[in-house]
Chains A and B, each alone.
Chain A
Amino acid sequence: DQQVKQNSPSLSVQEGRISILNCDYTNSMFDYFLWYKKYPAEGPTFLISISSIKDKNEDGRFTVFLNKSAKHLSLHIVPSQPGDSAVYFCAARPSGTYKYIFGTGTRLKVLA
């Protein structure tokens, strides 16, 4: 029962262009959504989060959009840089808990 889904296992984007990573979820009881980035041999690194009461949060080159009616989350990276090449995970927190449910990840490759 995969409650958080990242249907694109990989994505390639040219340097300077926009990267859009998508995430779908099935549980309407999630109250926080987060994006993590993971490089090989390192633990996941927090990128950006959004509360379920908001529809957009921006931090520098990173913007997360939440569409609750569609149960869809997306991360926009503008402009994309080669150093952004990593695996990106979306994660969701069920309300009233302190755990995160992670998607399976999308491998982003930014081409110079």
Chain B
Amino acid sequence: DAGVTQSPTHLIKTRGQQVTLRCSPISGHKSVSWYQQVLGQGPQFIFQYYEKEERGRGNFPDRFSARQFPNYSSELNVNALLLGDSALYLCASSLGLGAGIAAGYTFGSGTRLTVV
């Protein structure tokens, strides 16, 4: 059974460019969350989507946006990239908003974004 899959695994972009990261949740999971992990820090919450609707947003600028598709996969878009956007972007899935809270999320391996 496939886990959470993210693509691409690594990406190098230039300042000012735009990037799209993709995530496929575990089969049957309807909620997808995005986290940013900067080197030496813990993951920081960006977005949560459930049933194609945004259910939570972290303290990130409007350059960050996301969406969820009918098959529950998700994309994270970042516009006008800055050097500080260089990070590991993690996608996590769960059955529902609060379902399985005691079991936490299941994370993908992440997309390593480098902005030069």
Hey, which bits of chain A sit against chain B, CB under 8 A? 4, 6, 32, 34, 36, 41-46, 49, 51, 89, 91, 93, 97-105
Contact = CB atoms under 8 A, between A and B. Distances in A.
For chain B, what secondary structure do more than half of its interface residues adopt (helix, strand, loop), or is it mixed?
mixed
B109 A100 contact: no
A97 to B, nearest CB: 6
B104 to A, nearest CB: 4
Given A41-B109, A46-B103, 15 more contacts: A4-B42, A34-B104, A42-B109, A43-B108, A43-B109, A43-B110, A46-B104, A51-B102, A91-B42, A93-B101, A97-B56, A98-B31, A98-B48, A98-B56, A101-B45
Contacts of A99: 33, 45, 48, 56, 58
A42 B50 CA distance: 24
B110 A105 contact: no
B43 A32 contact: no
Nearest to B91: A43
Instruction: Name which of B45, B50, B92 has the most chain A CB atoms within 10 A of its CB.
Output: B45
Contact of B107 (A41, A45, A51, A104): A45
A46 to B, nearest CB: 4
B78 interface: no
A27 to B, nearest CB: 14
B105 A46 contact: yes
Contacts of B109: 41-43
A72 B98 CA distance: 24
B87 to A, nearest CB: 13
Contact of B43 (A44, A97, A98): A44
A102 B101 contact: no
A45 B106 CA distance: 7
Closest 5 CB pairs of A and B: A102-B42, A43-B107, A46-B104, A99-B45, A43-B109
Nearest to A97: B56
A44 B56 contact: no
B61 interface: no
A34 B101 CA distance: 9
A49 B107 contact: no
